[in-house]
Amino acid sequence: MNKKFRITPTFIFCLFFVALFGIATVSAVPPLPQEFYGTVTVNGGVPAPVHSEVRAQVNGADRGSIITDVAGSYGGTGNFVLRLVVQATEADMSGPAVVTFYVNGAKADQQVSYVAGTSTSLALTLSSGGTQTPTPAPTQQPTAQPSTQVPTAAPTNTQPTIDPSAPPVIPEQFYGMVTVANSEPAPYGTMIRAHGTGVLTGTLENPIQVTVPGQYGGTNFSDQRLTVMGSIPDGTPITFTIDDSPALCYNVDAPNGWQKTIPFQSSASTHVDLKSSFLPTAAFSASVTGGSAPLTVDFVDESIGDPTSWNWSFGDGKGSTDQDPRTIYYANGLYTVTLKVRNNDGSDTLTKTDYIYIYSSGGGGGGGEGGFEPVTTTKAPTPTVTIPPVTATSITIGSGDGIALITASPGTTMNSASGGALANLTITRVERSAVPPVPAGATYSFTGIAYDVEPSGATFDPYVTISFMLPENDWNSLANQDLSIKWYNTATSQWEDLQTTVNPPIRTVSAKITHTTVFGLFTNNPPTPVPTTIPPTPATPTPTPTKAAGLIPFLPFNTITLLVIVVVVIIIVMVVVIVLILRRRKQSTDDNGEGEEEEAESSDDAPDWLDLK
């Protein structure tokens, strides 16, 4: 009879052990690091100075660095000294792994193959007779790193002459407090960078990031500090930037007030506090920008950058040093206003040309800002203005709300309906409900601003200019639209186009006119495109995205590795089953009573679901 084989706990343990062996075989193991130590010389045999940086790269990527504490030596030779540890990655090991070395940012003469798990003695040298200042090793910096350009705050006429073949000098390290706008502590991640002739930037220690708000470089010697290295003679001016903005510096070790530079001092560790250097930016507004004389105007300073002084010029020969001054304009005309602001870091000037309009106006009280709401339908006549048949000088006449202006240039003839010389003009705001309507389907819209220029039938030769000088709030609501002035043709009951000029700096829309009527401000609307009937496109089934292999949340490997493990386990199980089948066939030839007895015992001891028949 056939002999049954029983699956025992020992067999299950062995199978589990074999599976674990398969997992260990297919799982990736990171490469072991390689250590380096030895001598380091520069300029043809000169020992590299203390605090020199020795940096290693594998295939162009930084993989380890060390700061020397003994001249001409790195990594030490004892069993308990800190060595240059180079840690390659699995990607580095996918092909030839080449280790290159840099001393204070300059590339050394040596490069070797990476040998994981070894400790290597290697003498590093920099050849003499270099023809240029050593360039920094390429580093893997994030794409959003601030620019390394030296800010224009750095002096350019006091830089010492640099010997291009000079070897790197002992670096200087900086640390201290750092503040930004309004003396706030610089936040985490703020980038601090040092600049100067011969200074290497883009290294592991220049720039550095703020890791404790309000501090850079730490307060302990073991903390990473802002390290200035390169071929830099003592006394070279060093400037600093905070997130690429110029900074002022205060040497706590040798107080001399806030300065723009710190002189380089080889091998020093210097406590320098930094703060952002903010130039002011001039800005201002006026309570009113037009009206009839006398016009009172309140100016409001809106400058940023904490200015400490103000210098105003109102364009009429007067000025002020107040922050928010008031002035009165008495004569008609256009006035240019200028503001210059200054703080400890510098100054800035803003000029607004023809910012204030003063003009003759009907209806008294000038200068109200008005708006889109109707003012009145009552025509307030202007005072009688003597207008010669041919004007010898410019004439400006305004509406009572200070928005609409009529300007006549020298040489303009202004005639009445009867053909005689025009004696006066009136400009009156028209209530919205009284404005002739926009026809249905028109490609323009009324803004709510319209004025009636009278007397009817008056003409201008060659023309006069009508302008709408909008208040700031109204301008802001219309500035991004296509504005135009139109005149109402009573003969055709249509709005007619005028060639319109828009002047954003002074918030003015103007057009040339040759006669009196109602004039309005409109926005042009682009025509609505007519939808084209397109036959429906058969829906294309959206492919189901294939999920990339990733880490299994509860396992230390990804799905591909898991599949490999499963395949290995299946192969192992199949081999075991084949072995068991062969053994069963061999045992089937043994048909003695002892075999039958063992079979009976096996039947009694193990459940049927564990039997292999």
- pLDDT on residue 377: 34
- pLDDT on residue 424: 83
- pLDDT on residue 459: 92
- pLDDT on residue 329: 92
Q: Are residues 441 and 333 in the same domain?
A: no
CATH of the domain at 301: 2.60.40.10
Q: Are residues 423 and 474 in the same domain?
A: yes
- pLDDT on residue 168: 62
Instruction: Retrieve residue 107's tokens.
Output: 């590339």
Domain end marker among 313, 335, 358: 358
Q: Comparing 292-301, 395-404, 601-610, which segment has the lowest mean pLDDT? A: 601-610
Percent of the chain with pLDDT over 90: 24
Q: How many helices (H) and strands (E) does the chain have?
A: 4, 41
- pLDDT on residue 589: 64
Q: Are residues 263 and 321 in the same domain?
A: no
Q: Are residues 519 and 377 in the same domain?
A: yes
φ/ψ bin of 161: left (φ > 0), alpha (ψ from -120 to 50), beta (otherwise): beta
In terms of Cα–Cα distance, which of 106, 101, 67 is closest to 86? 101
Tell me how far the alpha carbon of residue 69 is from its chain's centroid. 40
Instruction: Decide if 157 is inside a domain.
Output: no
Q: Are residues 328 and 383 in the same domain?
A: no
CATH of the domain at 112: 2.60.40
Instruction: Decide if 606 is inside a domain.
Output: yes
Mean pLDDT of the chain: 76
The pLDDT tens digits of the residues spanning 263-316 come to 999 888 899 999 887 778 899 999 988 888 888 999 999 988 778 999 999 999
Instruction: Decide if 180 is inside a domain.
Output: yes
In terms of Cα–Cα distance, which of 175, 161, 256, 172 is closest to 220? 175
The pLDDT tens digits of the residues spanning 532-545 come to 555 555 554 544 44
Q: Are residues 268 and 201 in the same domain?
A: yes
Query: How many residues are given for the chain?
Result: 613
Q: Are residues 370 and 467 in the same domain?
A: yes
Instruction: Decide if 306 is inside a domain.
Output: yes
Q: Give residue for tokens 């605090």.
A: 51
The pLDDT tens digits of the residues spanning 430-468 come to 988 889 999 888 899 999 899 999 999 999 999 999 999
Domain end marker among 276, 305, 323: 276
Instruction: Decide if 131 is inside a domain.
Output: no
- pLDDT on residue 345: 75
For residue 67, give the amino acid letter: I
Q: Are residues 368 and 504 in the same domain?
A: yes
CATH of the domain at 444: 2.60.220
Q: Are residues 422 and 519 in the same domain?
A: yes
Domain end marker among 228, 256, 276: 276
Instruction: Decide if 100 is inside a domain.
Output: yes
Cβ-count burial of 570 within 10 angstroms (0-12 exposed, 13-18 middle, 19+ buried)?
Answer: exposed
Q: Are residues 222 and 302 in the same domain?
A: no
Q: Are residues 301 and 268 in the same domain?
A: no
The pLDDT tens digits of the residues spanning 557-585 come to 455 666 777 788 888 888 888 888 877 77
Q: Which domain holds residue 322?
A: 284-358
- pLDDT on residue 236: 92
Instruction: Retrieve residue 248's tokens.
Output: 């002022």
What is the distance in angstroms between the CA of the first residue and the CA of the last residue of the chain? Answer: 11
Instruction: Retrieve residue 316's tokens.
Output: 């009429």
Instruction: Retrieve residue 268's tokens.
Output: 């020093």
Instruction: Decide if 392 is inside a domain.
Output: yes
Q: Are residues 516 and 381 in the same domain?
A: yes
Per the structure, how many domains does the chain have?
Answer: 5
**Residue-wise DSSP of 54-81:** EEEEETTEEEEEEE-SBTTEES-SSSSS
- pLDDT on residue 7: 58
Instruction: Decide if 178 is inside a domain.
Output: yes
Whether the pLDDT of residue 57 is over 60: the answer is yes
pTM flag (> 0.75): no
**What are the start-end ranges of the H helices in 515-592?**
559-588
Percent of the chain with pLDDT over 70: 71
Whether the pLDDT of residue 547 is over 50: the answer is no
In terms of Cα–Cα distance, which of 396, 394, 412 is closest to 404? 396
In terms of Cα–Cα distance, which of 58, 65, 39, 66 is closest to 114? 58
